[in-house]
Amino acid sequence: SPSSPTAGLPPFFMKGSIIQLADGELKRVEDLRTEDFVQSAEVSGELKIDSSTVERIEGSGTPNAVIIQFSVGENKAQVCVEVLVEYPFFVFGQGWSSCCPDRTTQLLALSCAKLSVGDVCISLTLKSLK
């Protein structure tokens, strides 16, 4: 619904959302740690965690959106994504981060750090993809 406070954002980023890890453990989204993602990927067998370094953050033609350029994985593949400024990414060893942490906290109640160039985010690929 356009009137939803989280319009354009997935509901699972709202503080208090229950997340199921690959081993069945339940955690709140704000309590997730780097190890939870790494261990879940190991258990899943299908998914592989990649380190995606933020190379550039630039404005988008869309209001409240940015284009983030990542350098993904060992091959340093350059990938650009357009996201809302409040969209949270999980930074290795740090936790949730977004381009506009104040807005993320306002909309989702999720505490965030400021996402910056050089931050290493967790991303996923399918193991079958080469």
Partner 1 sequence: NVEPRSVPVFAWHSLVPFLETSQTK
Smallest separation (angstroms) from partner 1 to the CB of 114 = 18
Cα separation values, 125 from 16, 24, 73, 121, Å: 27, 21, 9, 13
Q: Which of residues 77-106 bind partner 1 (CB under 8 A)?
A: 77-81, 89-90
Q: How far, in Å, CA of 101 to CA of 103, rounded?
A: 5
Q: Which of residues 28-57 bind partner 1 (CB under 8 A)?
A: 29, 32, 36-37, 40, 44, 47, 50, 52
Q: Which one of 1-9, 58-66, 99-107, 119-127 is the stretch in contact with partner 1 (CB under 8 A)?
A: 119-127
**12 lies in the binding site for partner 1 (CB under 8 A):** yes
What single string gives the DSSP state of each residue in 69-86? EEEETTTTEEEEEEEETT
Identified binder of partner 1 from the candidate list 26, 61, 93, 128, rule CB under 8 A? 26
For residue 97, the cross-strand partners are: 89, 113
Q: Judge residue 106's burial from the number of C-beta atoms within 10 Å of its C-beta, 0-12 exposed, 13-18 middle, 19 or more buried.
A: exposed
Q: Which residues bind partner 1 (CB under 8 A)?
A: 10-13, 17-22, 26, 29, 32, 36-37, 40, 44, 47, 50, 52, 69-70, 72, 75, 77-81, 89-90, 121-126, 129
